[in-house]
Amino acid sequence: MITLTDVARAAGVGESTASRVLRGHGSFSAKTRESVLIAATTLGYVPNRIAGTLASTGSRLVGIVIPSLSNIVFPDMLRGANTVLVGAGFQPVIAVTDYELGREESLIESLLSWRPAGVMVAGLEHTERASAMLRNSGIRVAELLDTDGQGIDIVVGFSNREAGRTTARHLVSRGYRQIGYVGHDLNRDLRAAKRFAGFRSALGETGLDLAGEEIIPASSSIQAGRDGLARLLERSTNLDAVYFSNDDMAIGGYFHCLTRGITIPDRLAIFGYNGLDVARSAPQPLSTILTPRVAVGEMGARLVCSDGPPTVVDLGFELVEGATT
């Protein structure tokens, strides 16, 4: 493997000179520059950032911890973060927790051992030890996609609880009274649980109660939404609206209605969460809450790369009145 020393020798200069040329740091003559560059190219030199990082201080790595890659929300956020990070000269290192806090803890530990410049993690809930590690790491920590709780350093997101509340108020104001819920595993998806909690509480404040609920014990999917709604409607025949834990589930519900010839929104209203493309482009655009996922990733990345005091940024959400309520 070609090292900087090899390049320096081939170019007939000292290694620190070669290093300066290759990094464009400090001063060197045009002639020197030339010969070093030629030597590097000729030898096919690939710098060793491991060594570079150890020698200097601070890597250009940023750790990103997300629960899943299957739920498009996280790739979306990742995309926003990636754009900003790469633009600022950082490399993302991703870790996927599968919605398990224990795994999150060990992944965070492992990420920190790479001495990243910062860490971005989805959500505010972590194990005691994970929180402690993040707090003591001495690097910037951004917690994303949720503002319902106490953050460590940087928090960028929106209130899931409030999203649930907003949905409930919307449905009630539209005249729906027999409202059901179809959701997925809430023990793992803590943010979906917060939405549901907000939804129930706002519903309660209007004097209403949930007219039925169906929670499937798996992760969210279109098929799960289809099956969930089918089961719910078997039990609760008089529903006039259903709130789904997210758009995937809601689209499944929508498909179920199409299949069964259930008229939307007259016979049944449907409301989702996320504002996915598929929801927007459906024959009847889904009524949903549009979340700024990409923007959260961008803003989180921007803040992680900067310094400043701990910050909370609420990017809000937007209720999209589709054709299903």
CB of 136 to its own copies, least distance (A): 6
Site for its own copies in 84-103 (CB under 8 A): 86, 91-96
Choices 8-16, 47-55, 152-160, 187-195; region in contact with its own copies by CB under 8 A: 47-55
Tell me: does residue 48 bind DNA (CB under 7 A): yes
Closer to its own copies at the Cβ: 139 or 168? 139
Start-to-end CA distance of the chain, whole Å, equals: 64
Cβ distance 74 to 68 under 8 Å? yes
Closer to DNA at the Cβ: 2 or 72? 2
DSSP secondary structure letters along 65-102? EES-SSSTHHHHHHHHHHHHHHHTT-EEEEEE-TT-HH
Contact partner, 215, from its own copies, DNA, none, Cβ < 5-8 Å per class: none
Q: How many whole angstroms separate alpha carbon 305 and alpha carbon 325?
A: 42
Rounded to 10°, the helix 293-305/73-87 angle is 40
Q: How many whole angstroms separate alpha carbon 268 and alpha carbon 291?
A: 24
What is the torsional sign of CA 182, 187, 190, 196? positive
Tell me: does residue 131 bind DNA (CB under 7 A): no
Burial (CB count within 10 angstroms: exposed 0-12, middle 13-18, buried 19+), residue 55: exposed
Answer for which of 54, 132, 258, 323 binds DNA (CB under 7 A) is 54
Closer to its own copies at the Cβ: 123 or 252? 252
Closer to DNA at the Cβ: 5 or 42? 5
Residue 113 is given by DSSP the state: T
CB of 48 to DNA, least distance (A): 4
CB of 229 to DNA, least distance (A): 53
Burial profile 107-117: b = 16 or more Cβ within 10 angstroms, e = fewer: bbeebbeebbb
Answer for which of 255, 290, 311, 320 binds its own copies (CB under 8 A) is 255
Tell me: does residue 76 bind its own copies (CB under 8 A): yes
In the shown chain, the binding pattern of residues 55 to 74 toward DNA, with x for contact by CB under 7 A and - for none, equals xxx-----------------
Tell me: does residue 104 bind its own copies (CB under 8 A): no
In the shown chain, the binding pattern of residues 164 to 203 toward its own copies, with x for contact by CB under 8 A and - for none, equals ----------------------------------------
For the chain, the residue count is 325
Q: How many whole angstroms separate alpha carbon 96 and alpha carbon 48?
A: 27
Contact partner, 41, from its own copies, DNA, none, Cβ < 5-8 Å per class: none
Burial (CB count within 10 angstroms: exposed 0-12, middle 13-18, buried 19+), residue 57: exposed
Contact partner, 138, from DNA, its own copies, none, Cβ < 5-8 Å per class: its own copies
Instruction: Give the residues lining the site for its own copies (CB under 8 A).
Output: 1, 44, 46-51, 53-54, 59, 69-70, 72, 75-76, 78-79, 82, 86, 91-96, 109-115, 132-133, 136-138, 221-223, 226, 248, 251-252, 255, 258-259, 277-278, 280-283
